[in-house]
Every structure is written in C-alpha cells, then in structure tokens.
Structure 1
Amino acid sequence: MPGITVEVWGAGERVVLVHGSLATGPSEWRCQRPLADEGYEVVVPTRRAYVHTSVGEDFLSDGADVAELLGDGAHLVGHSYGGLAALVAADLRPEAVRSLVLAEPPLFQVAADHPAVRRLELRLRAAFASRTGDREFLEHFLHVVGVPVDELSAALLDELVALVPALRRARQPWEARVPVDGLRTAPYPVVAVSGRHDEAFHAVCAALAHDHRAELRVIQGAGHEVQTVAEEFNAVLRDLWHGSRERAPDGVSGRCRLGHGSATGPSGTPAPG
C-alpha cells in the first residue's frame, strides 16, 4: 500500500494494531507479538508520517489507510494518536470491524468540559506553538502526555528526536472532528483502556464508557504506554476477542521494558502517543 509499510505476524483471525506518535508499528506493539502464536494474523502498519517524515501525521488519511487493512473483517486496536485513526477507519467501514480497543486516545472532544482535559489541551497547544528545538520539544511533550522520560535512555531519546517533525506537523485532535457518535450504535464491542496516570486521559476514557457505550478497563504501571504492561493489556484483548478469561502464557508477564532499538515514542516505543 503506497505511503505506509505493513508487517504481518502469524496467521488466523485478523487483528490490526495502529500505533501512536513518535513510533513505528513494530516498535510500539512488540509486547503484542506473542498473540501471533495464538491463532491471530496480527497486521502492524507503520503510519505514513513515520515512513516519510517529510509529512505530518494525519488521523484522517491514516484512518483511510487503516480501513483498507481491515479486509473482510478484523479486530481493531489503536493507541494514543492511533486511536483517532482507528476511529476514522471504523467510521468508514463499520461492517468490517469485529471489535475496537481505544487505548488512551487524545479524544478531547468527548470530555471537552472536563477541567483537566481543557488544561491538557491548552498545554499541548502551547507546546506545538513553541519554537523550541526538537530535543527540548520532545522531552516537554513526553512529560505532558505522561511518559516517564527518566526511564528512557539517551540513545532512545536521540532516536525519537528524528521522529519529532512528523509530530510537530501533525493534524492535531482539535483541528478536525473525530467521528465518534457512531460508537453508540456500532455493531461491534468497544473497550477504552486508561492508564489512570493522568486525570485528562482518564476523563476521556471514562466519557467513552459513560456516553459512547465503551467498556472501561484500567491498566496501571506504565503511564501512557499501557500496551507495555503486556500480561494485562494482552488479557484485555483476549477477553474481548474470544470472551475468555485466559491469562497470558507462561513467560509473558509484567511490563515490556523500553530500550534502545526496541521502542520508539509516545505511543509506541516507550514514549508518548
């Protein structure tokens, strides 16, 4: 598919995992790779802004790309900014969505009246309006969205700096309306996952549960990077995908640690989203 790259892990029932900002697909979803050994075809795109960093990420065009990856039907998972793209894809092809997981999406419109959400949006607007260097912007941005910067190596931060232009040029959540109203009558189940590390992100997830028919799940211990708490996050996916309470296989537990060359970003590597 022009503009994006796609890795496919395993074979079986299709799953599409959509990464967030400052990340590639494989780096963000490395903790979910074991699901490929459990009867799933795990489709892992890298969104076009992180293939061609001369462009900014755009949840509208990303959503159209993701919609094509759904094939005849797939479970859809989006983390952080990737959750916005997942919502666009689900709106374009609701009949092809078997389930939808939104992990810490910056979907500020659903909780726009919440004081913490207003504060976070204002802080992000200020960050994006600043003229600081990319390294300073990166560390400030990660701090704002709840990524533990002190856990990231200097080498990893250097890798992430190269991805900052895609983020700084992005279509921001407040610059276009994300299609969310259809969730109330969607023919598929929806789960919102909160890391409960930040009042604003939790308010968004709670609003999705209260007003948009999502089930709220909380996974703590990794801030914004909920997918790195591998055992718990993968259990949420399994519970949704086949309704069982099966736990992770032996050897897959705890948090997927972040390290140089193994992750990237706010919503991916270990950074933000």
Structure 2
Amino acid sequence: MKYSVERWGSGAERIIFVHGSLGYGAAAFGEQQPLGDRFTLDVVTRRGYGDNPPIGAVDVLADAHDVIEILGEGAHLVGTSMGGIVAMNAAGLRPDLIRSLTVIEPPAFALAADLPEVRRVSDAMRRHWRTADPSDLHAFVSGFVEALEVGIPIPKPLPAPMAATVRNLVTERPWKVDVPIGAIDDASYPKLVVVGGWSKAFDAIGRRLADLLETDLHVLTGAGHAVQKVGQPFNDLLVRHVENSREAEGVTA
C-alpha cells in the first residue's frame, strides 16, 4: 500500500484526517485521539511519509485520490497545511462522499496572491527554492520556515523521519498549488476554515477561503501553524461542526 491509515475509535460517524508536509498522521493529530471515544478516526499517512515507501515527488492529486479511496461510502474530512490542499482536492472531485470539510491553514497561496501579505511569503518561497541547495536538507528546511516566517528551531542533525519529509518538501511548490474552489463552494456539505492567528499570510488566506466558501473563519491561537495541536478547543469546534452537518442532513443521534 502506498499510503497507510491508523484507526482510532469505533463510533458510528467517521472522520478522516490528512497531515501536512513535515509530519505524518499520528504525529500531526495526536491531540485528536480523544475524539475516538465518540467517532471512528481514520488518520492518514500520505505517500512517502512515515513508514510508507519513498516517492520521487509529492503529487497532491494522487494523494487526493488516495483520500477518495479511504472515504469509502462517505465521511467527514479534515486536512492540515498541505493536507488541507489534499483534502480540498478530494472534496472537489467527490463532493458526494463528503459529510463535512475542515481545513487548517492550507497553503492556498495562489488563491490569495493579490494580497500583499500573501505575496510577500510566496515571493520568499520562490527565492528560496530558486537558490537553496536541495541536497542540504537542514539548510533547506531552515530556509523554508524562515520564508514562511514561522520562527521555529530546526534540530541539527535532522532526525531521520524529519529528513524524509524534507526530501518530499524539496519537490513541492507551495506557492503554485491549486484547489477546486468552485466545486467546493457549489457543494452542499458544511465547510470550516481554521487559522492560528500567528501569521498575516495564513490569516489572509483563511479569510479569502472563508469569503469564497461563504463560511466563518475561526481563529484558535496557541499552537502556531499546527492549530489542531491546541487540543480541546479545536476538538470542541470540530465536534460542533460535525454535529451541525448531521443536523443539516436531518440525521438525529
């Protein structure tokens, strides 16, 4: 299997979680494990991450088709960072399988490239990819987080699992990724956009997404880009979102 899925819980309703560029399933969503007392949680580790076989390059559409396989007859879908881009592509391709969609700081830079705060970070990433040595993984990821204005320390030497994620990162072009915003907007499933309030660029992308999808933007501070790691506040928000989607479908507990 090119991807893998770790299952937590056995509730009647299922939530699928998709991680971003510098992690893998359980590491990205460990704080959501308590939701397994109520739901079935399928935590995806994408192609080329974790213990899955290496890949030549990240392919968001291939990942999206993997998610569609995992959706089965339908589920709620949550994606963080680049996993949010994957989730949005899956949701655009198969809206009939989506019970609700939640995206956490997806790097949809192309969707908001007209905004100065977004363009500044996009330009910084372009310069970094153009000038960085892709074989120096520590320098590459350090320059990447600097371009994103994250300001987090990078361990040296890189732990082996992180080095593998950086090899994948080298093949990405975050400022160019596309999302099927029209198909998502047209779909009837509820949408939730969440940001961490730490970055003007990601906040602006979140506002643009929320406006285009005609939904609210939720800000949960305290965990930076990995908003889901605030734990209970995010979990409570997600539970409300899932419950609201159930009510919208006319389903009772």
Q: TM-score, normalised by structure 2?
A: 0.88
Deviation at 1:47, TM superposition (A): 0.5
Q: Which amino acid aligns with 2:143?
A: H
Once residues 53 and 121 of structure 1 are traced to their aligned partners in structure 2, the CA distance between those partners, rounded to angstroms, is 27
Structure 2 counterpart of 1:268: none
Matches within 5 A, 1:99-118: 99-118=100-119
Once residues 87 and 230 of structure 1 are traced to their aligned partners in structure 2, the CA distance between those partners, rounded to angstroms, is 23
Once residues 217 and 207 of structure 2 are traced to their aligned partners in structure 1, the CA distance between those partners, rounded to angstroms, is 7
Q: Deviations over 1:48-79 (max 9, x none)?
A: 02123342222111111101111111110000
Q: 2:48 is paired with a residue of what secondary structure?
A: helix
Q: 1:48 is paired with a residue of what secondary structure?
A: coil
Q: 2:106 is paired with a residue of what secondary structure?
A: coil
Deviation at 1:3, TM superposition (A): 0.8
Matches within 5 A, 1:75-90: 75-90=76-91
Matches within 5 A, 1:103-142: 103-129=104-130, 130-131=132-133, 133-142=136-145
Structure 1 counterpart of 2:15: 15
Structure 2 counterpart of 1:32: 32
Which runs of no fewer than 5 residues in structure 1 stay unpaired? 245-273
Matches within 5 A, 1:1-273: 2-12=1-11, 13-38=13-38, 40-50=39-49, 51-129=52-130, 130-131=132-133, 133-150=136-153, 159-170=161-172, 172-243=173-244
Which runs of no fewer than 5 residues in structure 2 stay unpaired? 246-253
Once residues 126 and 52 of structure 1 are traced to their aligned partners in structure 2, the CA distance between those partners, rounded to angstroms, is 30
Deviation at 1:207, TM superposition (A): 0.6
Once residues 236 and 146 of structure 2 are traced to their aligned partners in structure 1, the CA distance between those partners, rounded to angstroms, is 28
Change (3 A) 1:240 1:145: same
Once residues 28 and 71 of structure 2 are traced to their aligned partners in structure 1, the CA distance between those partners, rounded to angstroms, is 19
Q: Which amino acid aligns with 1:24?
A: Y
Q: Which amino acid aligns with 1:198?
A: S
Q: 2:217 is paired with a residue of what secondary structure?
A: strand
Once residues 237 and 142 of structure 2 are traced to their aligned partners in structure 1, the CA distance between those partners, rounded to angstroms, is 30
Q: Deviations over 1:14-48 (max 9, x none)?
A: 1100000011111111111111112x110111110
Q: Deviations over 1:167-210 (max 9, x none)?
A: 1013x244453211122221111111011111111001001111
Once residues 147 and 157 of structure 1 are traced to their aligned partners in structure 2, the CA distance between those partners, rounded to angstroms, is 19
Once residues 123 and 44 of structure 1 are traced to their aligned partners in structure 2, the CA distance between those partners, rounded to angstroms, is 32
Q: Which amino acid aligns with 1:33?
A: Q
Q: 1:29 is paired with a residue of what secondary structure?
A: helix
Q: TM-score, normalised by structure 1?
A: 0.82
**RMSD (CA atoms):** 2.0
Once residues 155 and 41 of structure 1 are traced to their aligned partners in structure 2, the CA distance between those partners, rounded to angstroms, is 37
Change (3 A) 1:128 1:222: same
Once residues 9 and 242 of structure 1 are traced to their aligned partners in structure 2, the CA distance between those partners, rounded to angstroms, is 19
Once residues 230 and 85 of structure 2 are traced to their aligned partners in structure 1, the CA distance between those partners, rounded to angstroms, is 21
> Contact (CA 8 Å) 2:109, 2:177: kept in 1 or not?
no
Once residues 42 and 62 of structure 1 are traced to their aligned partners in structure 2, the CA distance between those partners, rounded to angstroms, is 18
